Amino acid sequence: MEFLSKIGAVVQRILKEEFQLEVDSKSLLFNETRKEFDGDYTLVLFPFLKTTRKNPQELGKLIGDTVVQEIEFVQSYNIIKGFLNFEFHVSFWLDILKQLDDNGSFSLPNNGNKVLVEFSSPNTNKPLHLGHVRNILLGWACSNILSAAGYEVVKTQIINDRGIAICKSMLAWQKFGAGATPQSEAMKADHFVGHYYVLFEKKFKEEYSNWQSSEEGGTVYQNLRKEDQSEEAFFKSYKNKYFNDYSALGAEAKSMLLKWEQNDVDVRALWSKMNNWVYQGFEETYKNLGVTFDSIYYESDTYTLGKDIIQEGLSNGVFYKKEDGSVWIDLEDVGMDHKLVLRSDGTSVYMTQDIGTARKRYEDTQANGMVYTVADEQDYHFKALFETLKKLEEPYCEGLHHLSYGMVDLPTGKMKSREGTVVDADDLLKEVIQEAKNNAVERGEIESISEDERQKIYQLIGKAALNFFILKVNPKKRMVFNPAESVDMQGTTGPYVQNAYVRIQSIKRKAGEMDLSKRMEYSDPEPIELDIIKKLNGFLSTLQIAADQYDPSIMASYCYELAKLYHKFYSDIRILGATEESAKAFRIALGNSVARTLQEGFRLIGIEMPNRM
């Protein structure tokens, strides 16, 4: 805040002139004065007491007197213990509000950086679930926040469209589908494909179970079991081995994968057909979540990338080759291990592709930064990837960030797709919207508007509840998703914030066309009104912090706090019923400013405002 550095400069000068004490502006911390004391901002004097050999009263008086004398907007000061509280003129805050109204901006100037934000990045064998929802909302909100903070942003995703998982769906459809289509079954297309993935797992499980009681299975168990290992525990741990070495279904799926890699025409056609169904379904979910992408990368295109860079790195000593032909990078100097970048048979690993994809994206966009929205189980991988890209001296290597987020747990424990405890993204959206509708119908505020508009409002409210519930939590924290609480619309929720906005709209409608110029005559604001102005003034610095930390929860909290102040203001103070015309005009103008700020803050975290609710 500019005005604080003005005070800071005076303090610095005094400390230097009087005590030969050089203090840099960073160590001069001004805090907002706590509610229970008089003042706007507080300078903590303790750090200077020893070196100046003054007590707080003396030092505070010296600084306070000078600041009040030299800085026109500081009206007075008081000293409590080691805290020097500055009180500003009321007119200063009224001017701030006017400036925000006249040429206030909700974004920061372009900073010359271009950043690519990757999020969502699903597999194509099943529909999106709650885990994806957190990923998508985080990535989307971060994109908006970075964009408002002055970055040029490219939103992208990489779709994992190949591999054994999609082959399982394909195989199950081929064997058991009898030519069914999403249309013929009237199913959302990605759910249709997911159904066959589940069917495959079911048939495989049956097959495995039969094998376990067969002679062959029994022999394997007797020969390979560890001591004290129960039959159940053994077969649980043996599942992968069985899939690869014994299973007929496993063999078929693997053969399909092989054919895919050999570009078999029929398999490729089937693959395209099923992936396209999934994409149709995803598109619908993205639309309902309100997110879009600027570009899409497919793993089937990118999985071959990176090998040439490995050669490059070998020749200039970034990588080294072992006797068996495998290629590695030594990351011990940054506290990590040696990491494989190419297998001994010359095929790629995850790391290889990611190195190649990063460079391709740089070539495609010239972005000097990349943000990867990926769950925190991959922290180590991304650390290794970024260090590798640094050693390769890639031009964008200083702008890499892993937007790491914690898993989403249910109150009953972890989500496990195998145990059917996942929360489906589409179901979730439906539920919150239905809950919004139930509430709205009960309240009856919007009975008079058209059915179409009502539906639209239910959606906005339901989505607000869901988005806010997920985004209010710091990304890196593991979060508990309680379905009952996620549809809550009271307290620290999206609808609570929307409600503040709606109240303002309602007042504007009632006020009609009004000349607000009289607000300039309003000179004696209530404390709550000043609190609101201070909060409004904090929007841009909040945006900056949220962008620096890649953390939408900071913006979500800000909006909640502003809405909370407005709700209190609304209940304590007459707006349309104000006795003075100037007060009425001022309060309407203040409301307008709050509404715009809430709307913009919520837009950044992917939530739209209704005009009624």
Partner RNA sequence: GGACCAGUAGCUCAGCUGGAUAGAGCAACACACUUCUAAUGUGUAGGUCCCAGGUUCGAAUCCUGGCUGGUUCACCA
Q: Is 440 in the site for RNA (CB under 7 A)?
A: yes
Which one of 432, 473, 583, 609 is in contact with RNA (CB under 7 A)?
473
Which one of 266, 308, 572, 580 is in contact with RNA (CB under 7 A)?
572
Residues in region 150-169 near RNA by CB under 7 A = 160, 163
SS3 158: strand
SS3 297: strand
Closest distance to RNA from the beta carbon of 114 (Å): 26
Please count the other Cβ atoms lying within 10 Å of the Cβ belonging to residue 353. Answer: 18
Q: Is 609 in the site for RNA (CB under 7 A)?
A: no
Torsion of CA 501, 506, 508, 512, to 10 degrees: 160
Q: Is 16 in the site for RNA (CB under 7 A)?
A: no
Residues in region 311-350 near RNA by CB under 7 A = 322, 324, 326, 335, 337, 340, 343-345, 348-350
Of 227, 247, 251, the residue nearest 238 (C-alpha): 247
Q: Is 544 in the site for RNA (CB under 7 A)?
A: no
Q: Which stretch binds RNA (CB under 7 A): 69-77, 146-154, 207-215, 563-571?
A: 563-571
Q: Is 236 in the site for RNA (CB under 7 A)?
A: no
Measured in residues, the chain has a length of 613
Report angle CA 589, 99, 151 to the nearest 5 degrees: 110
Q: Which stretch binds RNA (CB under 7 A): 6-14, 89-97, 223-231, 435-443?
A: 435-443
Report angle CA 433, 292, 491 to the nearest 5 degrees: 35
Closest distance to RNA from the beta carbon of 184 (Å): 31
| DSSP assignments along 378-398, one per residue | GHHHHHHHHHHHHHTT-TTGG
Non-local CB neighbours of 585 within 8 Å, separated by 6+ positions: 514, 515, 516, 517, 518, 519, 522
Q: Is 483 in the site for RNA (CB under 7 A)?
A: no
Relative to beta strand 338-342, strand 327-330 is antiparallel
Q: Is 133 in the site for RNA (CB under 7 A)?
A: no
Q: How many whole angstroms separate alpha carbon 418 and alpha carbon 210?
A: 19
Task: Copy the structure tokens of residue 336.
Answer: 């990590």
Place of tokens 């032909």: 325
* Identity of residue 41: Y
Q: Is 568 in the site for RNA (CB under 7 A)?
A: yes
Q: Is 4 in the site for RNA (CB under 7 A)?
A: no
Residues in region 351-410 near RNA by CB under 7 A = 376-381, 406-407
Nearer to RNA, 147 or 459 (CB): 459
Residues in region 134-153 near RNA by CB under 7 A = none
- DSSP assignment, residue 475? T
- x/- site string to RNA, residues 51 to 80, per CB under 7 A? -----------------------------x
Nearer to RNA, 406 or 483 (CB): 406
Q: Is 203 in the site for RNA (CB under 7 A)?
A: no
Nearer to RNA, 344 or 455 (CB): 344
Q: Is 416 in the site for RNA (CB under 7 A)?
A: no
